[in-house]
Amino acid sequence: MDFLNYVINGALIGLLYALIAMGFVVIYRASKVFNFAQGELVILGGFIVWYTSFELGLNLWLAIPISLIASAFAGYLIERIFLTKLIGESVFSMVMVTVGLLIFLRGFILLVFGPAVRPFPIVFPLRPLFIGDLLIPMNLLIGGGITIVCAVGLSWFFNKTRPGLRMTAVAEDHVVASSMGISVKHSIAAAWIIGAVLSTMGAIIFLSGKSLTFLASDIGFAALPVALFAGLESIGGLILAGVIVGVAQGLATAYLDPIIGGSIGTVMPFIIMLGILLVRPTGLFGWRTIERV
């Protein structure tokens, strides 16, 4: 029964990683930019939720929608200020901007909210769900459901709707997309808005009932192996990749950590990531690009 519990918990943690990784993928799909500041978007979203719920004292069910709208606006602003001027420039330049954005967001949050550790509101029930001997944390269970809904919805959006297909075309080539009458600016802005909202949703699930500090941005790096494992273009693949990575991490934490006496569970996702990059650099479901020479 313990084994099953570790598997379920691991899978749910993996789905949380998948939700954060969805932010990576959405932005990558629309702009071919790997956003190194994804973890910082998570803490920015976390601080917005904290501010609306604790500082403004709003009811949680009002604070959360307002926070999601505010983070969408923050995503839009980030794209307008930092990235819109770089359309048509090399991808490397845009990636370096996201590194700068990482540093900027940390400084900005420090300046605006201060360095103190904050309590995060209890959004989901603290009492876990008990099914016989199984114990399932409610925040992860509900979060897992949200992740699956988001993945299905975004997959449909990108593959079946006109705006989604336009964003995909933008990811292929900015110049070609522009020549076809697609607004590259709007597509990339939409990707950053979606990325920022997903990050805030990730922050709510991750931090519910816990504490909010800069350290929370580390989850951006924890989600990285899931994004690379799935393939940076695959939203649906994130679910499978998240579950595999999460279960591997959970089992390593349960069975290897006590033997080895270290945090092998923490390292496990990165071991998987390195293995995948060696065998299949495009990930499980990443696009294979065929180039004519």
Partner 1 sequence: MNTFSKLSFRALAVAGAVFALSHAPTRAEAESTYNLAMLSDFSGPYADIMPILAGGREAVVDWWNDTRGKELGVVLNYKNFETRYDAAQVASLWPGIKSELNPIAVMGLGGPDVAALGERLPEDQIPMFMSTAGYGFAWKSDSWVFNPRPTYSHESAGFLNYLRQKLGKDGPVKVAIMASEASPAYVDMAHGLEKYAKENPEMVEVVETVYTEVQPTDLTAQMRRVVRSGVDAVIIQTNTSIVVATKRALQANGADIPIMLSSHNGLPASGKAAGGVAQLEGDYESYGMAIAVEGDTAPYQFYKLLSEKYGLKAPWNVVTAMGMSQGSYVVAVIDHAIANNGAENLTGAKVREALFSGPITTEETRGMLPTLNFTPEAPFPLKGLKVNIARVVDGKIVIEATNVDVPVVNKW
Binders of partner 1 among 265-284, rule CB under 8 A? 265-266
Binders of partner 1 among 106-135, rule CB under 8 A? 110, 114-119, 122, 126-128, 135
Enumerate long-range contacts of 106-109, CB under 8 Å, 24 or more apart: 106/40, 106/214, 106/217, 109/40, 109/43, 109/44, 109/47, 109/214
- Give the type of residue at 2: D
Q: Nearer to partner 1 by C-beta: 165 or 251?
A: 251
Q: By CB under 8 A, tell whether 168 contacts partner 1.
A: no
Whose structure tokens read 């629309």? 30
CB 49 within 8 A of CB 200: yes
Which among 20, 13, 50, 16 has a CA at the least distance from the CA of 212? 50
Binders of partner 1 among 221-260, rule CB under 8 A? 222, 250, 253-254, 257-258
Binder of partner 1 out of 9, 71, 147, 168 (CB under 8 A):
9
Whose structure tokens read 């904290």? 50
C-alpha 208/C-alpha 141 separation (Å) is: 12
Q: Nearer to partner 1 by C-beta: 75 or 250?
A: 250
Minimal distance in Å, beta carbon 117 to partner 1?
4
Largest CA distance in the chain: 61
Strand partners, 130: 135
Residue 84 tokens read as 């819109």
Binder of partner 1 out of 23, 137, 220, 283 (CB under 8 A):
137
Minimal distance in Å, beta carbon 198 to partner 1?
17
Minimal distance in Å, beta carbon 201 to partner 1?
15
Q: Which residues bind partner 1 (CB under 8 A)?
A: 2, 5-6, 9, 13, 16, 110, 114-119, 122, 126-128, 135, 137, 140, 206, 209-211, 213-216, 218-219, 222, 250, 253-254, 257-258, 261-263, 265-266
